[in-house]
Structure formats: structure tokens, C-alpha cells
Amino acid sequence: MRNILKLLAVIMIMAGAATMAYAQEIHRYKLGDFELIAIMQQANAMNPANVLNENPSKLASLTNIKGWDGSSMSYFVLKANGKTILFDTGLQPTNTKQMLAKAGVMTDDVDMIVLTHTHGDHIGGMVDGTSAVFKKAHVYIATEEAAWWEKQGSASAILKAYSNMTRFAQNANIAPGIVSVPAFGHTPGHTAYKITSGGKTLVIWGDIVHTAIQFMDPDTYLKYDSDPKTAIATRKALMADIAGSQAYVAGMHMVSPLVGKIKEAETGYEFVPQPDGAM
Ligand SMILES: [Zn+2]
């Protein structure tokens, strides 16, 4: 597992170094009474050839589809019921603090951190050295994910820094209008969140998609999926569910503007970007 996490870190660093001044974006939406801020820390964060467990010829056969290799590294702020809620925290604290400040969110404003899973690019912004970046935040994590994370021994700095941590069971009510949805496979406790307000629904689905090619071919999976079979089944079920509904979707590695709808396409699914503003 250590090696897989190391590989992941190397991929991220290489992606960052290769582009140097990589694109960053902030998008704002209204979902009923809630406000969503989508923060893209880095565009094109993933090289499909490095992260996907696919042979090069199959990848090459899909490269004629425009945008097949699009990706990002992103996270989300939700303002709901008077609370500021962070869904994942990015790769490292300096960048996360800068991007949040640009979006008008101070670290002490954050009341809740809700985690999709515990890979470094999702929890890396939580601690600066050994101290909590979000001093007032209560952390929410799926029981299955917390158990897996704690077993790896990499959790201790964050666990020490955040004494307020709730480990929740499947399909838990996290806060009014926010329900957890088990989306296991990428990691043992990988979790999506269904957010509902004013009759509108948004699913923040974490790492269901790492590069856009997975919309076109949901069977494509990652070198570091904990359980590829389950990850594929989860991706297909969630995509079918969302495409068949009026729900919006947002993801931590999706292309600009990180939020949209999905619809069935000739080849798999198509991501339909949602412009900033009311959903
Ligand atoms: Zn990720």
C-alpha cells in the first residue's frame, strides 16, 4: 500500500512539475438554498497512461474522442444551513489555503470536513506539519474508510490534529440535506454524497472518474483501485442512476467546470458542463 501511495504522490508531483503554471479555477453555483463553490486546484492533473490499468493500444483507440484525457485535482465548499462544509481538502495545505482565500473562505470559517476517501490528494490539505489547518472543523468519514486508513499507519498525524471526528455508517445523514452514499471500490470506504435543497439534487461522487475516458468507457479502471471489480460496478451504477435522473454531479478529478449533468452517449456517457449560477 505504501508503494501505491508513493506512486500516486509521484504522479501528482510530475503532473504539477510538467505544467508549472497549471490552470486553477473557481466556479460558483446555487443549489436551492445552498451555495456550492467548486475549486480546481490543478487542471490536467492525471496522465491516463500513468494512472489507468489499460494497455496502450486500447487507450490509443479512444484518443480520437475529444477531451478523453481531461482531468483535474479539485474539491468543493458547500454553504448550507449556516455552515461552511469542505468536501475533501486537496493535495497540500499551502495551495489549499491560497485557493480557499481566493474563493473568500478562511480556514477558520470551515465548520465541517466531509471526506470521500483518504488518498493524499484528498486529505493532504488537512494538516500543516502536525497542526490542523482547519482548527474549528469537525471531520466526517465513513467507518469502512476510517478502518482501512487507520490500518495503514499513515493516519496518525491527522487523527492527532483533529479530535472531532465522526465515523458514520452507510447512508448516514451528515447534515440536513446531505446523505452519504457508499461508493466503494476505489478505496474500501470510498463514499459519495447526495445533497438536496429546493428540489435540486447534486451528487459529489469523489473519484468515480479520474480522467474523462472513464465516462466513455466506465470499465476502465485505475492502477491503484483497491478493488477494481467493485470500483467498476460502483461507477456504472452511479452513472446510470445520475444519467436517468435530473441530478447534477461533481467530482474531484473532473474537467472544467467540475459540475454538470451526465447523459448516455454512443460510447458510454457524456459529461454536460453546467455554467456558473443557479442550477
Ligand atoms: Zn483522487
To the nearest 10°, report the CA torsion of 112, 114, 119, 120. Answer: -20
Would the pLDDT of 8 be above 70? no
**What band does 1 get if pLDDT is binned at 50, 70 and 90?**
very low
Fill in the DSSP letter of residue 108.
Answer: G
Tell me the residue length of the chain.
279
Distance 122 CA to ligand 1 centre (A): 6
Distance 94 CA to ligand 1 centre (A): 18
Distance 200 CA to ligand 1 centre (A): 26
Would the pLDDT of 9 be above 90? no
Strand partners, 62: none
Distance 90 CA to ligand 1 centre (A): 9
Domains of the chain (ranges, CATH numbers): 2-274 (3.60.15.10)
Give the range among 175-179, 217-221, 257-261 with minimum mean pLDDT.
Answer: 217-221
Distance 191 CA to ligand 1 centre (A): 12
Distance 252 CA to ligand 1 centre (A): 6
Would the pLDDT of 17 be above 80? no
Query: pLDDT by residue (tens digit) across 50-101?
Result: 888 887 777 777 777 778 889 999 999 999 999 999 999 999 999 999 999 9
Cell 487507450: give the residue: 59
Would the pLDDT of 269 be above 60? yes
Q: Helix (H, G, I), strand (E, B), or coil: what is residue 267? A: coil
Would the pLDDT of 16 be above 80? no
Question: Residue 59: how many CB atoms within 10 A of its CB?
Answer: 18
CA distance 271 to 279: 16
Extract the C-alpha cell encoding 127.
494538516
Distance 54 CA to ligand 1 centre (A): 18
Distance 53 CA to ligand 1 centre (A): 15
Distance 123 CA to ligand 1 centre (A): 10
CA distance 43 to 104: 21
Query: pLDDT by residue (tens digit) across 170-211?
Result: 999 999 999 999 999 999 999 999 999 999 999 999 999 999
